Amino acid sequence: MRKVDYCVLHCTAGPRNQSVESIKAHWKRLGWKTVGYHRLISPDGTVHNLADYSDITNGVKGFNAVSIHISYIGGIDSNGRAVDNRTDAQKAAQKVLIEEAAKLFPGIVILGHRDFSPDKNRDGAIQPGEWMKTCPSFSVKDWLKEIGFKSANKEYCRTLGALNMRSGFGTQFSIVTTLMPGVPVEKISEKNGWAYCQYGRFVGWIRSDLLIKI
Ligand SMILES: [Zn+2]
C-alpha cells in the first residue's frame, strides 16, 4: 500500500439527484485518466466504491499521491451557492469512512478540499478569502470536533518545503529527518520560533515560519 497522509473530504457541488454515472461521465469528458474520488456518498447514505485506496485518484492537485478522497453528492443550493446540505445518512457514512481510514492509515490527517488552498498573504493560516474553492461546503475541523473524532483537538501544520526536523530548537542541533514538502505534522508545542512536531515515528523541532496551519 502507498503512503497516505491525507483523507480529503469533498462535495460534488452538484444537485442531490446527480447520478454516479453522470459524475463519472463528467470526468471522462474532462479527459481524466482516473476517477475524482475513491468513495462517493449518495443522499441515502449508500457508499459507492469508485477506486481502491491503493490507487491514486484526482481530488486535489499536487496532493493526490499521498491522499484518499471521499465525496458526498450535494454541497450547493438551487442557486449554485455553497451549502452544507449533507443528509444525516451522508454524515453517518462519512463518519464510518473516516474511522476506517484512521485505522488503515495511522496518523492520517482529515481535511476538506478547501484546506489545501494556498496561504496567499503568508500569515501562516488559510483564510476564507484564500479558498481556491469552497468544497466541501462545511468546516471539516468543526465537524470533527462536533462528532468527537479522536484527533479533532490536535493541531496540524503542513510543511512549506522540504524541511529539516531537528533534535532541538536551533540550526546547531542535529537533523532527525528531512520532511518532504507538503506533509502534515502534528504541532505539540512552540518555543523561540520553533515548533515541536511529530510526523509518523519522527519527533523534533521545525522552524515555525516554514509551517502553515491546517
Ligand atoms: Zn473537492
Domain ranges of the chain: 6-153, 156-209
d(CA 23, CA 31): 13
Quote the cell numbers at residue 29: 469528458
Tens of pLDDT, residue by residue over 12-48, are 999 999 999 999 999 999 999 999 999 999 999 999 9
Expressed in angstroms and rounded, the spacing between residue 165 Cα and the centre of ligand 1 is 31
CB 98 within 8 A of CB 136: no
For residue 193, the CA-to-ligand 1 centroid distance in Å is 33
- 205 CA from centroid of ligand 1 (Å): 32
CATH number for domain 156-209, candidates 2.40.50.140, 3.40.50.300, 3.10.580.20, 2.30.30.40: 2.30.30.40
CA 96 to centroid of ligand 1, rounded, Å = 19
pLDDT computed for residue 124 by the predictor: 87
Output the CA 70–ligand 1 centroid distance in Å.
Answer: 9
Query: What is the assigned CATH class of domain 6-153?
Result: alpha beta
Structure confidence at residue 181 (pLDDT): 93
CA dihedral 109, 110, 112, 114 (to 10 degrees): -10
Q: Is the peptide bond before 43 cis (omega within 30 degrees of 0)?
A: no
Ligand 1 mean position to 163 CA, how many Å?
27
Pairing relation of β-strands 109-112 and 67-72? unpaired
Residue 138: its pLDDT value, please? Answer: 97
pLDDT under 50: residue ranges of the chain: none
pLDDT of residue 194: 97
Measured in Å, residue 190 CA sits from the centre of ligand 1 at 32
pTM across the whole model: 0.95
**Residue position matching grid coordinates 509518523:** 200
Residue 8 CA, ligand 1 centroid: distance in Å: 8
Question: Taking a C-beta distance cutoff of 8 angstroms, is the pair 189, 195 a contact?
Answer: yes
> What's residue 132's pLDDT?
87
136 alpha carbon – ligand 1 mean position (Å): 6
- The Cα–Cα gap between 33 and 58 comes to 9
What pLDDT sits at residue 183?
A: 95
Q: What is the Å distance from ligand 1's center to 135 Cα?
A: 5
